[in-house]
Amino acid sequence: MNPLQQWRAFQDKSLYYQAVKADGEESCWREIARQYDQLVYPQHQQRALLARLLPRLDGVSSAIEIGAGSGTLTMPLARQFRRMTAVEPSPSMAEVLQGNLVQQRLGHVTIIRQRWEEAQLPPADAVIAGGCLYVFYEIEAALRKMREAARSTVLLTHVGNEGLWDIDLRAQELLAAPKPCLFPPLPLLMDVLTSLRIPATVELFYVTTTKRFTEEQWLKRCQRLFAVRPEQQPLLLDFLRQELHQEHGCWTVTEDVPATIVELRREN
Ligand SMILES: C[S@@+](CC[C@H](N)C(=O)[O-])C[C@H]1O[C@@H](n2cnc3c(N)ncnc32)[C@H](O)[C@@H]1O
């Protein structure tokens, strides 16, 4: 199998891509779009990523952001640019993003409510895809389009390559579950880039993330990732109670997870 076929084979098994394929993940975003940052993207994580991202955007005055979500990166990045286009197909996410942009008076950001594959946009200095490569099945076409749309740089970011790190691994061992396929792993992306002869630089670093879910949300997440059997539920609950820190009705965990910025360069 060549790397492009391997990418599609991974996506065929990926829990996250299956949700994209089913309904563009809308059933998930409908539930959590308003709480996305609180649940998935705490401020200390955002700050750590921005500190690595912003120096790479020096001199950039226009940008396209793919998969902008609720605007976690859009809003701090928009302050750097004269013009910004946020591509976001999910109606729930786009609605939250629109509200956030109005509240923060970022009128120079345009939301395109389409998938990247269909969006027809004029080029910009930079194209940024934050944590969203997992939505693409035809990765070659998506990357080619990003390179064509970017006058100077394409930045692909990802935090927590495979979800949480320690706690997921221990839960998986406890439940004797197979490793779930979530985001396409970094080595696979590297193989894809190499096979397409795309020059790139990779920065690998570690950021502290905090996940703050209710008990019900933790159980739902574990159920989805590890297909927990009914007789394993008490074991899982004991484990979560032991491992997680309880705070204001939520169960939280803080971990250092790997993060990457892959920059696709223009020159050979
Ligand atoms: C995990 S979220 C990432 C949000 C944000 N960029 C971040 O870093 O937190 C992935 C986003 O990609 C969007 N998305 C899904 N399919 C897409 C597609 N084909 N083109 C562009 N965006 C897509 C989803 O609706 C979702 O908002």
Q: What is the mean pLDDT of residues 32-56?
A: 88
Say which residue the tokens 């020096």 belong to: 58
Distance (Å, rounded) from C-alpha 216 to C-alpha 1? 40
- Cα–Cα distance between 255 and 178 in angstroms, integer? 22
73 pocket-lining for ligand 1 (C-beta < 6 Å): yes
For the segment 239-249, the average pLDDT, to the nearest whole number, is 89
Q: How confident is the model at residue 163 (pLDDT cuts 50, 70, 90)?
A: low
* Mean pLDDT, residues 66-89 taken together: 96
pLDDT single digits (tens) 92-117: 999 999 999 999 999 999 999 999 99
Phi, psi of 101 (to 5 degrees): -65, -40
209 in contact with ligand 1, CB cutoff 6 A = no
In ligand 1, which atom is closest to the CA atom of 68? 6
As a whole number, the mean pLDDT across the chain is: 93
Instruction: Find the 24 Cα to ligand 1 centroid distance in Å.
Output: 9
- What is the number of residues in the chain? 268
Whether 81 is in the pocket of ligand 1, judged by its Cβ within 6 Å, is no
93 CB near ligand 1 (under 6 Å): yes
Q: What is the CATH number of the domain that holds 87?
A: 3.40.50.150
Would the pLDDT of 268 be above 60? no
Nearest to 254 by CA among 48, 94, 3, 72: 48
Residue 223 lies in a domain: no
Q: Does the residue 139 lie in any domain? A: yes
258 — phi, psi (to 5°)?
A: -70, 145
CA distance 127 to 146: 6
Q: How many Å lie between the centroid of ligand 1 and the Cα of residue 238?
A: 34
pLDDT(230) > 60: yes
Residue 210's pLDDT band (boundaries 50, 70, 90)? confident
- Would residue 189 count as lying in a domain? yes
Would 108 be classed as within a structural domain? yes
Structural domain includes residue 152: yes
Cβ of residue 184 lying under 6 Å from some atom of ligand 1 = no
Tell whether the model's pLDDT for residue 176 goes beyond 90. Answer: yes
Quote the pTM value: 0.93
Distances (CA, A) of 108 to 61, 197, 266: 12, 35, 27
Asked if residue 252 is part of any domain, the answer here is no
- Within a domain: residue 25? yes
Domain span at residue 80 reads: 3-163+179-207+259-264
Closest residue by CA, ligand 1 atom 27: 69
Name the domain count of the chain: 1
Per the CB < 8 A criterion, the answer to whether 210 and 45 are in contact is yes
pLDDT at 161 over 80: no
- Give the burial class of 204: count Cβ atoms within 10 A of its Cβ; 0-12 exposed, 13-18 middle, 19 or more buried: exposed
Q: Collect all residues with Cβ–Cβ distance below 8 Å to 117 and sequence separation of at least 6.
A: 136, 138, 141, 142, 145
pLDDT at 162 over 70: no
Is 47 within a domain?
Answer: yes
Distances 80 to 56, 83, 142 between C-alpha atoms, Å: 12, 9, 25
pLDDT > 70 fraction of the chain, expressed in percent and rounded = 98
CB distance 117 to ligand 1 below 6 Å: yes
